[in-house]
């Protein structure tokens, strides 16, 4: 078996969104699972729409996600290779010039559809004589170039997700590989790159399945072995539709919304599989169980509410070391462990830090609670704070006041934190400390 090499091949015409993050993740997981290499290929043949800003953003997004490539290549730096392969194919008659304008092609498609036929290119250009071509070129018509498909046999492969695939090449148009202005379309450069970088597994969305049938013939025409293919079912929103919003949900927006990469990747690794969605503290934990065979063929539903819920569960397991550099100064491991069970996003840690440090909102109390809180302040002053002050305080007050349950706990929580809900008081009270606790209880009484 050749070594595993996968590549993630975004076009830097925009930011990467959840759909291509999932592709990147699958490429990364497969490479890591098989001690292979994971490459980033920037498909920037479209010079007008590709920007350096997007290139930088893609690299930054992958770094944030922890999906670090083992190598990178850019199509815009490889035109000489494409030219050489193109000339070789041209010499063999596998690419040919075609002169139809966009309008003519659109008309041909319309006519075919009107006759109930598939809108497949009729190969009229193949029937032109050299003299015909010269005449057109003399009139200033510059050709674009098509790859001539071999119609002799069906194209078949065993897709790692979709199983046996079979296409009749006669039912497909010879793909345009180069525009009249000499620029490249994605199709052929991708194959040339995959050959040169010895990509063993092409992992991408199922919108590329037909491209694979075409590209398999390009691999063969270039005398190269064919890689394996895994085409993932598309992602849809929770409404079952391929929503615009989902396509537009970029890594940057998710990051700003407080989503942890482990949560996003933990969800994307499991969507469309029968494995349960579980929080992971480290994305490496996703590697051992990864297998394309677990991916179903039905569209996978991406639900932002499910992501938010997983984000909270993920935070609850993250060790201090994993978040320390993003926490407000002053929060140490003990504080982190006390507050993390209450977090939905890491940003909320600052709120709890403020609750510990103060000043807090001072809620007002009924007279009866004020008396109770005055007793609490006295009791707090007597306690041994080295042990478990919350247990000791509540036990003492239970005995002296006869209060229990909500009547005992809620006024204390409100007086000590200014809030009705929050982390376990047993963990919080030692962090608030004796001096501040007594002050807050006195202020409330
Ligand atoms: N640039 C192509 C895309 O983003 C790459 C497809 C592929 O993985 O071959 O759709």
Q: Is 245 a residue whose pLDDT tops 70?
A: no
Tell me, what's the pLDDT at 287?
Answer: 97
Tokens in use for 285? 């934990």
Asked whether 199 and 7 are in contact (CB, 8 A), the reply is yes
Sort 420 into a burial class: Cβ within 10 Å, 0-12 / 13-18 / 19+. Answer: exposed
Q: Is 241 a residue whose pLDDT tops 90?
A: no
Q: Tell me which residue has its CA closest to atom 6 in ligand 1.
A: 9
Cβ contacts of residue 285 below 8 Å, gap of 6+?
none
Q: Would you place residue 322 in the very low, low, confident or very high pLDDT band (cuts 50, 70, 90)?
A: very high
Ligand 1 midpoint to CA 19 (Å):
12
Tokens in use for 397? 């007050």
Q: Would you place residue 248 in the very low, low, confident or very high pLDDT band (cuts 50, 70, 90)?
A: low
Ligand 1 midpoint to CA 23 (Å):
10
Asked whether 161 and 205 are in contact (CB, 8 A), the reply is no
Tell me, what's the pLDDT at 265?
Answer: 98
CATH code of 358-444, in short, is 1.10.10.350
Ligand 1 midpoint to CA 9 (Å):
5
Asked whether 62 and 69 are in contact (CB, 8 A), the reply is yes
CATH code of 81-178, in short, is 3.90.800.10
Query: What's the average model confidence in pLDDT over 351-377?
Result: 94
The class level of CATH for 1-73+233-318 reads: alpha beta
Asked whether 281 and 316 are in contact (CB, 8 A), the reply is no
Nearest-atom index, ligand 1, CA of 8: 8
Asked whether 444 and 362 are in contact (CB, 8 A), the reply is yes
Mutate to test the pocket of ligand 1, among 24, 39, 188, 190 (most ligand atoms within 8 A of CB): 190
Domain(s) of CATH 1.10.10.350: residues in the chain: 358-444
- Tens digit of each residue's pLDDT (9 = 90 or more) over 96-146: 999 999 999 999 999 999 999 999 999 999 999 999 999 999 999 999 999
3-state secondary structure of 320: helix
Domain(s) of CATH 3.90.800.10: residues in the chain: 81-178
Q: Tell me which residue has its CA closest to atom 3 in ligand 1.
A: 10
Q: Would you place residue 240 in the very low, low, confident or very high pLDDT band (cuts 50, 70, 90)?
A: confident
346: nearest Cα among 394, 374, 314: 314
User: Which residues does a 6 A CB cutoff place in the pocket of ligand 1?
Assistant: 9-11, 43, 186, 190, 204, 208
The count of other CB atoms within 10 Å of the CB of residue 15 is 19
Query: What's the average model confidence in pLDDT over 145-171?
Result: 98
Query: What's the average model confidence in pLDDT over 299-304?
Result: 91
Q: Would you place residue 242 in the very low, low, confident or very high pLDDT band (cuts 50, 70, 90)?
A: low
The count of other CB atoms within 10 Å of the CB of residue 385 is 15
């Amino acid at each position: 078996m050749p070594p595993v090499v996968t590549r993630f091949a975004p076009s830097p015409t925009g930011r990467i969104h959840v759909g291509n993050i999932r592709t990147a993740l699958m490429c990364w997981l497969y490479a890591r699972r098989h001690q292979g290499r994971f490459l980033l290929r920037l498909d920037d043949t479209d010079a007008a729409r590709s920007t350096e800003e997007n290139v930088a953003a893609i690299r930054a997004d992958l770094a944030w996600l922890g999906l670090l490539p083992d190598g990178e290549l850019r199509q815009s730096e490889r035109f000489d290779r494409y030219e050489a392969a193109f000339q070789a194919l041209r010499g063999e008659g596998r690419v040919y010039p075609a002169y139809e304008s966009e309008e003519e092609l659109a008309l041909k498609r319309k006519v075919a559809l009107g006759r109930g036929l598939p809108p497949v290119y009729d190969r009229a250009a193949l029937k032109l004589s050299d003299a015909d071509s010269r005449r057109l070129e003399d009139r200033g018509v510059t050709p674009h170039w098509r790859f001539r498909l071999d119609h002799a046999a069906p194209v078949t492969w065993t897709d790692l997700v979709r199983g046996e695939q079979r296409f009749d090449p006669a039912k497909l148009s010879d793909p345009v590989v180069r525009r009249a202005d000499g620029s490249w379309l994605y199709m052929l450069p991708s194959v040339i790159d995959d050959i040169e970088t010895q990509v063993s597994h092409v992992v991408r969305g199922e919108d590329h399945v037909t491209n694979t049938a075409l590209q398999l013939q390009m691999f063969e025409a270039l005398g190269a072995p064919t890689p394996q293919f895994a085409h993932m079912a598309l992602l849809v929103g929770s409404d079952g539709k391929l929503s615009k919003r989902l396509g537009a949900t970029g890594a940057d927006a998710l990051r700003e919304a407080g989503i942890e990469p482990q949560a996003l990747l933990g969800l994307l690794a499991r969507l469309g599989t029968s494995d349960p969605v579980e929080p992971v503290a480290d994305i490496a934990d996703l590697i051992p169980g990864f297998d394309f065979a677990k991916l179903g063929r039905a569209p996978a539903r991406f639900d932002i509410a499910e992501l938010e819920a997983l984000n909270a569960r993920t935070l609850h397991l993250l060790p201090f070391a994993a978040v320390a550099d993003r926490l407000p100064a002053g929060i140490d491991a003990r504080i982190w462990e006390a507050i993390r069970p209450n977090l939905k996003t890491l940003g909320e840690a600052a709120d709890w830090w403020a609750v510990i440090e103060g000043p807090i909102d001072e809620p007002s109390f009924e007279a009866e609670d004020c008396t109770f809180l005055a007793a609490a302040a006295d009791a707090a002053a007597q306690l041994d704070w080295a042990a478990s002050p919350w247990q000791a305080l509540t036990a003492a007050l239970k005995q002296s006041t006869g209060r229990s349950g909500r009547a005992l706990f809620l006024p204390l929580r409100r007086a000590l934190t200014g809030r009705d809900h929050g982390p376990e008081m047993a963990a919080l009270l030692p962090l608030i400390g004796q001096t501040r606790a007594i002050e807050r209880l006195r202020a409330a009484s």
